[in-house]
Structure 1
Amino acid sequence: MATATASSGVPPTRRDFLYIATGAVGAVGVGSVVWPLISQMSPDASTLALASSEVDISKIEPGAIVTVKWRGNPVFIRHRTPKEIAEAQATPLGDLIDPETDAARVQRPEWLIVVGICTHLGCVPLGHEGPFDGWLCPCHGSQYDVSGRVRHGPAPKNLAVPTYAFLTDTKVKIG
């Protein structure tokens, strides 16, 4: 304790040590109170597990629709036939309530992935129903085509396309 400080030339005292030690203990105390408060705001493990979902699509036959869960909502994965792809691409945008091309809704033409919730009141539409062989909402009659675009009824928007990526030719990651 007999050495002088470089800046002032005054040797440190016992009081200086107590100030530094008290500040350090106070900082640790504040950190131990704040850390749990910040930590509790992050999502729990079950929520993080639902953030994305990997689906094996190798067993889905052409023309079939499979429903999987993602974030607690149904997601429709449709393996479209060449005929369905041609119909979806040939649909004039003027015939659509919410105009959107088929190419803007799919990454690969043979695979359509949409959130299975009607955009009118949140019902779950039935697959391979209605005059467009897409989906039909049984509650209020909204009709969707093979690209998930609303064609008739009170629904204002097309079925939503979730964020997804093809990991391999047989596996897709939703979310």
Structure 2
Amino acid sequence: MAIGAVAFAGVGAGVIALPLINSMSPAADTLAASSTEIDISAIQPGQSIKSSFRKQPLFVRNLTPQEIAAADAVPLSELRDPQTLAERTKAGKSNWLVTLGVCTHLGCVPLGAAEGENKGAFGGYFCPCHGSAYDTAGRIRSGPAPLNLAVPEYAFTTDTMITVG
């Protein structure tokens, strides 16, 4: 009798706990938006594209050798948020810069990713809301923004595909 009561209580606890635990799992649409794949094969050196990651703009830029050299030549002491280009890119893929397109001042979307947009005084990105200017490595160079453009977690799945998230 005691063993039967304990078994019945255990099954009852499982029946109650399982839906509770399942309700804490993320929804299918949330899981689907948790990562983004981007084909970078069409991005020429010096060009960038805008995409979307978790409902935020995402910039993917193919840096030219001149842009890489210019970014490497900037002394870290001149930067408000000191980071080298190597810290912001993947090893062996230093020409690919992936950043969130959200200004770190008040969350506006900077210009400079699309053809013909104002790239600012440093040739990278320019936030039209309050005048923050970023260099080609997405580092803050002037204006009120306190930090560099954020670099999300990403990985190269092939030479032409990036998975962000």
Alignment equivalent of 1:158, drawn from 122, 145, 148 = 148
Alignment equivalent of 2:72, drawn from 52, 66, 89 = 89
2-structure distance, mates of 1:136, 1:151? 10
- 1:172 aligned partner: 162
Taking only the aligned residue pairs, the percentage that are identical comes to: 54
- 1:75 aligned partner: 58
Larger gyration radius, structure 1 or structure 2: 1
Alignment equivalent of 1:109, drawn from 62, 79, 94 = 94
- 2:20 aligned partner: 37
**In the TM superposition, what is the alpha-carbon distance from 1:161 to its structure 2 partner?**
0.8
TM-score, normalisation: structure 2? 0.92
- 2:31 aligned partner: 48
- 1:6 aligned partner: none
Q: Secondary structure at the match of 1:104?
A: helix
2-structure distance, mates of 1:103, 1:23? 60
CA deviation digits over 1:118-167, x for unaligned, max 9?
11111111115111111111111111000000000111110111111111
TM-score, normalisation: structure 1? 0.87
Is the counterpart of residue 146 in structure 1 residue 156 in structure 2?
no
2-structure distance, mates of 1:104, 1:142? 21
Q: For structure 2, list consecutive stretches of 5 or more residues without a partner in the other structure.
A: 113-117
- 2:115 aligned partner: none
- 1:28 aligned partner: 11
Q: Secondary structure at the match of 2:102?
A: coil
